[in-house]
Amino acid sequence: QLQHKSRVGESMAERASRKFVDSHFHVWDTQNHGLTGHPPYLSKTFPVYLAQDYLNDVNTIQFASDAPEFVGGVFVEALSDSPALEAKWVVNNFSEHRNALKGIVAYADFSESTESIEKLLAEYAQINSTNNGIIKGIRQILNHHSNKSLTWPKVREANYFENPTWKKNFALLEKYSMSFDLQCNPEQLQDAAQFFKQFPNIPVVINHMGCITLSDDVNKYLSDAEEGEKRDVAKAQYIKIWEDGMAKMAELSHVYVKMSMYPFIHPQWHDKSHSVYGDVERLVKKTFELFGSKRCMFASNYPTDKEPPKGTPLCVIYQQFDRWSLEFLKTQEEREDLFYRSASKFYRIQ
């Protein structure tokens, strides 16, 4: 007997079993700095974005006829000036939606003294003791570029991996059974691979697929680009830098990758009529080839990826990845890895 197909190659039973964990989202309140530590530059469009706002956006996926079951999401630090305060605020902000918050990735600056980092990690452990181990890991944004305008906030060193204090403090993550969220530029990935190779017991996940961009001014990301170099040449060079770095990272079995922040790659990343669509599709396919479905996880990066003028509706982001999962992943099990199992394993979500 034939079964009704809700998507190509998918039975109703398979559809009913599909689940969705959002491995990377933010909430913030820039209008209550004393309570959250969130700086005003986070968002001009959404100065306040709370748990209910996030869940409203998630519901735009739920309204689709082939919507998966939303299991919950992982909050990732939002550049707070008071990281422990931020973690406590996030827990409180989700007090009426506790099942939706499956984890917190908190902040630490490992270039600070070991004494201060030990104190901060101990404070996180205390929060965990009363909240079922909600804090899963640490993120410190490392995106540094010789062009200062391309260096992210709070990044004060060109190569933290060469800082012995940073290395000593990073090693503490194993003691506290925490993971690390890596956000860096493509040209930093090879150094990152050399560093993380020394710490096989600390799980690492690359944020936003290595932060590659194919924007119209991509040549500015190449430090040695010639004046007026053609965009297509610069784009090809940058993709090669990204691919070589991602390949090195993929050699490490404890390294995963988040599929997210596509408006940063290009505002028209999902527009099939735009020339960049094929480039983005090849980047996605290459990432699947390098890491396999068991180390790839889907993420919304909301509300950052909602921010106009480059933002994309969350339902569109999900639907595009749903299509790519059908195109590039061979089995239903692999698609479940992408949307549910990989994130659940990495962040120890029950």
CA distance 244 to 16: 39
Residue 66: per-residue pLDDT: 67
According to DSSP, residue 67 is labeled P
Give the single-character DSSP code of 230: -
pLDDT of residue 229: 54
pLDDT value at residue 121: 98
308-317 CB contacts, 8 Å cutoff, 24+ apart: 308/45, 309/267, 310/263, 310/264, 310/267, 311/263, 312/262, 312/263, 312/269, 312/270, 313/60, 314/57, 314/58, 314/60, 314/61, 315/60, 315/61, 315/63, 315/64, 316/270, 317/262, 317/270
Question: Which DSSP helix (H) or strand (E) runs through 90?
Answer: helix 83-93
- Strands, DSSP E only, in the chain? 5-7, 10-11, 19-25, 28-29, 48-49, 69-76, 101-107, 135-141, 179-183, 204-206, 255-259, 296-298
Cα–Cα nearest to 326, from 6, 10, 2, 1: 10
- d(CA 41, CA 153) in angstroms, rounded, equals 10
Confidence at residue 22, expressed as pLDDT on a 0 to 100 scale: 97
φ, ψ at 106 (rounded to 5°)? -90, 180
> What is the rounded distance in angstroms from the CA atom of residue 337 to the CA atom of residue 335?
5
* CA neighbor of 64 nearest in space, from 17, 6, 25, 117: 6
Query: Phi and psi of 112, rounded to 5°?
Result: -75, 175
Distance CA 140, CA 120 (A): 14
Rounded average pLDDT per 10-residue block, the chain, 350 residues: 38 59 98 96 93 96 74 97 98 97 98 98 97 98 89 94 98 98 97 98 98 79 56 83 98 98 93 93 97 98 92 93 94 96 96
What are 15's two structure tokens?
Answer: 């559809």
Tokens (6 digits) for 178: 């925490």
Q: Residue 96: what pLDDT?
A: 97
pLDDT of residue 347: 98
| Whole-number pLDDT of residue 63 | 60
